[in-house]
Amino acid sequence: MKSDLPKVLQPLAGVPLLGHVVSRARTLSPSSIHVVYGHGGDAVRTALAKENLQWALQAEQLGTGHAVMQAMPNVADDELVLVLYGDVPLIRAETLRQLIDAAGANAMSLLTVVLDNPTGYGRIVRNARGAIQKIVEQKDASKAQLKIREGNSGIMAVPAKLLRKWLGKLKNANSQGEYYLTDVIEMAVKEKVKVTPLIAPTTAETLGVNDKCQLAELEALHRAERARELMVAGATLADPARIDVRGDVTLGRDVFLDANVLLEGKVTLGDRVRVGPNTVLRDVSIGADTVIHPNSVLEQSELGAGCIIGPFARVRPGSKLGAGVHIGNFVELKKTAIADGSKANHLTYLGDAVIGKGVNVGAGTITCNYDGVNKSTTTIEDGAFIGSGNMLVAPVRIGKDATTGAGSTITKDAPDGQLTIARGKQMTVDGWKRPEKKPK
């Protein structure tokens, strides 16, 4: 990968490759998940430390069979072992369930894939009746075997007791000098253990990653699949090729997503939500009929119905907006609650604020919430009108139906229903001249 980051930690849709595989395995409700990692793979363990995994170190890289051997001491004989690969992230849970269902106490199953160009894949060798006889690796295949288009994905389900026995019989008499996991297929056939092949429904499910080009190809395939899921769920996408889904999305009816929208984490979009181009939504809940204009970023926040956001708005974590709230261009919110019908339409920062209903916040207003050590709250009551260019120095309260004059720096509470003005006295200095540069 030409990277300091281990291959299985390379990101696909914002999640490590191995993270995708572990998540897929988790959907099958396994009794345990074992990860075999190589020398120097401590970064992998650290990255997935919260995943409740069992780890097995493969100190020497002696092949796939040897890798599986390292995990087997912690696997009981009466269990079924499903072998997955940390760099094959697009395998579907439905495919794996079929693979598991095809195996049993005295039967194993194998996922294969039919390719136009199977170069690099072990070839599936079948007999005249179509039953699998063995798998031959590319470097060990004859000319005739190289013409076989059915390849081995490496993904299999095997009874643990049989797998343990077969792994103990593996030999490394091959061009690589490695212990091939695929050799257990021929052993199963010789012992008349049923080997059920399952051809992968899509090639994408079996694709691995060995360089950044292949990683980009999988990213595109993943992006297309997630876009299709959104459209099947009822969303209209302006351009399915230009949308990124990196989390779990819940959709209402008639949602519209424009080009270059990024959905990350847990995103809920209500009925008729419209999202403009170049917008990022990260861990947010958006109420029905809300419109998000272009180039806006919203994260870890909750918006009510009928809001209008942007363009070029930023809603930072901890913000909660009621119904019909307007947040306009170049307005930033941080940990701010805004009640129904309030507006901040231009060039404003509202942080650590509690804003009531029907409030109008004028252009260029800032809540001065941080003194270098502590963050304090600004409270603006229902119906207040904040003039343009105000500095509201927290902690401070603007009363119900109060008005503050444009250009004011408010450091004390403003009473209900009154006009409060706090400006320096304007003066003109007679005879003042602007400094001039001396000629060179």
Residue 438, number of CB atoms within 10 A of its CB: 5
Which of 162, 205, 202, 204 has its CA nearest to residue 185?
162
Cα torsion 134, 137, 140, 143 to 10°: value is 80
Q: Where are the alpha helices (DSSP H) in 191-322?
A: 212-232
Amino acid of residue 118: P
Query: 55: which DSSP letter?
Result: E
Render pLDDT for 248-267 as a digit per residue (tens, 0 to 9).
999 999 999 999 999 999 99
| Token digits of residue 235 | 């969303």
- Whether 326 is a known active-site residue: answer no
* CA 378/CA 353 separation, integer angstroms: 5
pLDDT-based confidence at 438, cuts 50/70/90?
Answer: confident
Gap between the Cα atoms of 365 and 20, Å rounded: 44
pLDDT of residue 397: 98
pLDDT in tens, 276-292: 999 999 999 999 999 99
The Cα 419–Cα 7 span in angstroms is: 63
Q: Which of 106, 87, 84, 104 is nearest to 95 (CA)?
A: 84
Q: How confident is the model at residue 40 (pLDDT cuts 50, 70, 90)?
A: confident
Per residue, what are the HEC states of 293-358? CCCCEEEEEEECCCCEECCCCEECCCCEECCCCEEEEEEEEECCEECCCCEEEEEEEEECEEECCC
Q: For residues 225 and 237, give the distance between their C-alpha atoms in angstroms, rounded to a whole number.
A: 13
Q: List the domain boundaries for the chain.
A: 7-206, 212-420
For 350, other C-beta atoms within 10 Å of its C-beta total 27
212-234 pLDDT, tens digit per residue, is 999 999 999 999 999 999 999 99
Does the domain at residues 7-206 carry the CATH identifier 3.90.550.10? yes
pTM over 0.85: yes
Q: What is the pLDDT of residue 367?
A: 98
Token pair belonging to 387: 């003039």
pLDDT in tens, 361-377: 999 999 999 999 999 99
- For residue 327, list its beta bridge partners: 309, 344
The confidence band for 440, taking pLDDT boundaries of 50, 70 and 90, is confident
Q: Which pLDDT band holds residue 79 (cuts at 50, 70, 90)?
A: very high
Q: What CATH code would you report for 212-420?
A: 2.160.10.10
Query: Judging by DSSP bridges, how do beta strands 15-16 and 11-12 pair with one another?
Result: antiparallel
Catalytic residue selected from 34, 39, 66, 346: 346
* H or E element that contains 188: helix 183-190
Give the pLDDT confidence score for residue 289 in this predicted structure: 98
